Chain A
Amino acid sequence: MFSEEAKTQLDNLIKKYPKKKAALLPALWIAQEQYGGYVPPEALREVAEYLDLPPAEVEGVATFYTMYNKTPVGKYHIEVCHNIACMVVGADDLIEHIGDKLGIEKGDTTADRKFTLSGAECLGACANAPCLMIGPKYYENVTPELADKIVDELSRK
């Protein structure tokens, strides 16, 4: 269920657009936050109800965009760019390195649900490749050593 605070946030958002429907993407972002990092079917239904949209339409939109997680992800979602600019400076090795460290394959989540490791399409930090993102934060010029440090720090949190 959306908190009162989230509802206020949504109401303010809706006012910024001439049509209520335009608040759908922002509403899904709020829903993802409210539901702990992913959008389960009940979150989609709640968004649909709030914006007076057919649930099927909301699901159609939510499944189109890759950043709305349809299944739960770990507390820290490590997304490593594997597009060409990063690939030629070692992104594939980096993904393997992080996977080995966490004991998981690309696309998996650790048993303690702390880390999910994914490959990502171009994150737009090509001048500082390879790069990865964890939540809102970008890490650039990532070496295996730096990746170890990042993972170790997050493990302690």
Chain B
Amino acid sequence: MSEQPQILFKYRTVPGYDNIDVYQKNEGYTALRKAIKMVPDDIINELKLSGLRGRGGAGFPTHIKWNGIPKNWDRPHYLVINADEGEPGTAKDREIMNLMPHMLVEGCIIASWAIRANNCYIYVRGEYMEPIASVRKAVEQAYAAGFLGKNILGTGFDLDITVHQGAGSYECGEESALMSSLMGERGMPRHKPPSAPLPVISGVWNSPTIINNVETIATVVPIINIGGAEYSKWGTERSKGTKLFTISGHVNKPANYEIVLGTPIRKMLEIAGGPLNGKPLKFLIPGGSSTPLLPATDQYLNLAMDYETMGANGTMLGSGGLMFFNEDVSVPKLMTRLMHFYAHESCGKCTPCREGTNWLTKIHDRIMAGGGRYEDLDLLLDICNNIGGRSFCALGDAAAMPIQGAMRFFRNEYEALIPKESLSKRVFTPLPIAGAVR
């Protein structure tokens, strides 16, 4: 662990770090005192120097997002924190909220100052009742200490933070669905550019809104403390700094780890204690359940964990949910479980996702029950092609990508489940789709 700098997790294990007193004794709220003396543009410039990219999954540069906030606009600005952590395999934001809630609160205040927002909403998934209690306590303590409320630190800047509890919907992690949900609606995605303006122009209540992931906002704190240039010394050319990874599955020490971007996957496996009981690994999922899997061979274990390398290998870094699976795991069985999940969580707004996830599930169930047909395999891929890039939001892609990954590397496992008599000459001929990748 020694060569992995702990920028975010520096004081995580300090007892009582979720309390404001202990937090302040460990560099707590120093970044806020520094930032509040800076003009917003200078804060955004520090982020630019740091190279920080959104940690929620998309990896969009944070400074570009913040810089888009209108300079002269007569509507109130809002900061919304996406704490609807629901991507299977990802459990890092929960740790931030449980153990270091003040870092999130401090990040929220700095971000609100930089984007001139007087209201911040932290939208936490409904199941996270313990993290909600932890963040609520931190918010109360911050109010009592004068870091929130009216005239913060004598600057005349006012800010209120409200912790908002979701109610069980994976879809609400999608930013436009989250905003719908925050406004008291069903958690369904909204129109996106070019047919509608970006949230930064018109988000919640038709006002300029910045929406960021918990980890992104928490990372702003150490960046202001040490400076953007210092932060950017870690990582690769385009994937800067460190990132939290939830390493789970068949490893000896599953946990949340702060890892420098660009670290080889093999090294991460080592950090997580190696394969569980030494049993050989079969494959891995690099960034949460919706990112396509990779075989656990030397070729892929040697890959660097950063946005670009993962992208170049047909998968994604995603939200940092790195899962390892050993030989005991059947790929089609795992995918069946995953398809039930996506079909359950599809919000039902658009046809490709609502119908597609349902059919992917039914076909998987059929194959698992021994009634699979040979042409089912191509049918699965055809459905994926009809979901990917054709659904209203990324949930559709999230359901299609794992199947495409599984078929790329483990088609043989699916074939093995198809009854022999079905292995006839019957071939599935899909209708042509413009631009489809097969």
* A contacts, CB < 8 Å to B: 16-19, 21-26, 28-29, 51, 60-61, 64-68, 82-85, 87-89, 120-129, 133, 135-138
CB-contact partner of B165 in A29, A82, A137, under 8 A: A29
Contact sample, A vs B, 19 pairs, CB 8 Å cutoff: A26-B165, A28-B167, A29-B165, A29-B167, A64-B186, A65-B166, A66-B167, A66-B168, A84-B289, A85-B321, A85-B323, A87-B337, A121-B344, A122-B86, A122-B170, A127-B246, A127-B248, A127-B255, A133-B127
Find out whether the CB atom of B184 lies under 8 angstroms from the CB atom of A122.
Answer: no
Mark out the residues of chain B between 183 and 200 whose CB falls within 8 Å of any chain A CB in the assembled complex.
183-187
Residue of B nearest to A83 (CB): B88
Find out whether the CB atom of A122 lies under 8 angstroms from the CB atom of B247.
Answer: no
Mark out the residues of chain B between 246 and 299 whose CB falls within 8 Å of any chain A CB in the assembled complex.
246-250, 254-256, 289
Find out whether the CB atom of B248 lies under 8 angstroms from the CB atom of A22.
Answer: no
Find out whether the CB atom of A66 lies under 8 angstroms from the CB atom of B169.
Answer: yes
Q: Which residues of B contact A85 (CB under 8 A)?
A: 88-89, 248-249, 321, 323
What total of chain B residues lie within 8 Å of the partner, measured CB to CB? 56
- Docked pose: A65 CA to B181 CA in angstroms: 10
Does B373 belong to the interface (CB within 8 Å)? no
Find out whether the CB atom of A126 lies under 8 angstroms from the CB atom of B321.
Answer: yes
- Docked pose: A122 CA to B338 CA in angstroms: 10
Q: Which residues of A contact B87 (CB under 8 A)?
A: 122
Closest beta carbon of chain A to B197's beta carbon, Å: 19
Closest beta carbon of chain B to A120's beta carbon, Å: 8
Q: Which residues of A contact B250 (CB under 8 A)?
A: 88-89
Find out whether the CB atom of B255 lies under 8 angstroms from the CB atom of A65.
Answer: no
Residue of B nearest to A51 (CB): B184
- Docked pose: A127 CA to B252 CA in angstroms: 11
Closest beta carbon of chain A to B287's beta carbon, Å: 12
Q: Which residues of A contact B166 (CB under 8 A)?
A: 25, 65
* B contacts, CB < 8 Å to A: 76, 85-91, 93-94, 119, 125-130, 133, 160, 162, 164-170, 181-187, 205, 246-250, 254-256, 289, 321, 323, 325, 328-329, 334, 337-338, 341, 344-345, 347
- Docked pose: A88 CA to B170 CA in angstroms: 21
Find out whether the CB atom of B164 lies under 8 angstroms from the CB atom of A26.
Answer: yes
Q: Which residues of A contact B160 (CB under 8 A)?
A: 16
- Docked pose: A26 CA to B131 CA in angstroms: 16
Find out whether the CB atom of B344 lies under 8 angstroms from the CB atom of A60.
Answer: no
Q: Which residues of B contact A137 (CB under 8 A)?
A: 129-130
Closest beta carbon of chain B to A70's beta carbon, Å: 12
Leading 9 A-B pairs by shortest Cβ distance: A136-B129, A24-B184, A65-B167, A67-B168, A66-B168, A21-B184, A122-B88, A126-B248, A64-B186
- Docked pose: A89 CA to B276 CA in angstroms: 11
Q: Which residues of A contact B133 (CB under 8 A)?
A: 136
- Docked pose: A148 CA to B94 CA in angstroms: 26
- Docked pose: A126 CA to B195 CA in angstroms: 37
Find out whether the CB atom of B184 lies under 8 angstroms from the CB atom of A19.
Answer: yes
- Docked pose: A136 CA to B126 CA in angstroms: 9
Closest beta carbon of chain B to A139's beta carbon, Å: 11
Q: Which residues of A contact B91 (CB under 8 A)?
A: 124-128
Find out whether the CB atom of B323 lies under 8 angstroms from the CB atom of A126.
Answer: yes
Q: A16-B162, A126-B248 are in contact. Are A82 and B88 (CB under 8 A)?
A: no
Q: Which residues of B contact A84 (CB under 8 A)?
A: 88-89, 289, 323, 334, 337-338
Find out whether the CB atom of A68 lies under 8 angstroms from the CB atom of B246.
Answer: no
Residue of A nearest to B323 (CB): A85
- Docked pose: A85 CA to B337 CA in angstroms: 11
Find out whether the CB atom of B167 lies under 8 angstroms from the CB atom of A25.
Answer: yes
Find out whether the CB atom of A88 lies under 8 angstroms from the CB atom of B167.
Answer: no
Find out whether the CB atom of A88 lies under 8 angstroms from the CB atom of B184.
Answer: no
- Docked pose: A120 CA to B205 CA in angstroms: 32
Closest beta carbon of chain A to B301's beta carbon, Å: 19
Q: A25-B181, A85-B88, A87-B337 are in contact. Are A127 and B127 (CB under 8 A)?
A: no
Find out whether the CB atom of A83 lies under 8 angstroms from the CB atom of B168.
Answer: no
Find out whether the CB atom of A124 lies under 8 angstroms from the CB atom of B254.
Answer: no
Find out whether the CB atom of A19 lies under 8 angstroms from the CB atom of B183.
Answer: yes
Q: Which residues of A contact B93 (CB under 8 A)?
A: 124
Residue of B nearest to A85 (CB): B248
- Docked pose: A28 CA to B323 CA in angstroms: 35
- Docked pose: A94 CA to B167 CA in angstroms: 25
Q: Considering residues A85, A124, A135, which has the most beta carbons from chain B within 10 angstroms of its beta carbon?
A: A124
Find out whether the CB atom of A124 lies under 8 angstroms from the CB atom of B167.
Answer: no
Find out whether the CB atom of A129 lies under 8 angstroms from the CB atom of B254.
Answer: yes
Find out whether the CB atom of A22 lies under 8 angstroms from the CB atom of B184.
Answer: yes
Closest beta carbon of chain A to B250's beta carbon, Å: 7
Find out whether the CB atom of A61 lies under 8 angstroms from the CB atom of B88.
Answer: no
Find out whether the CB atom of A61 lies under 8 angstroms from the CB atom of B248.
Answer: no
Find out whether the CB atom of B88 lies under 8 angstroms from the CB atom of A65.
Answer: no
Find out whether the CB atom of B187 lies under 8 angstroms from the CB atom of A65.
Answer: yes
Find out whether the CB atom of B323 lies under 8 angstroms from the CB atom of A124.
Answer: no
Q: Which residues of A contact B90 (CB under 8 A)?
A: 124, 126
Residue of B nearest to A20 (CB): B184
Q: A84-B334, A126-B321, A129-B254 are in contact. Are A67 and B248 (CB under 8 A)?
A: no
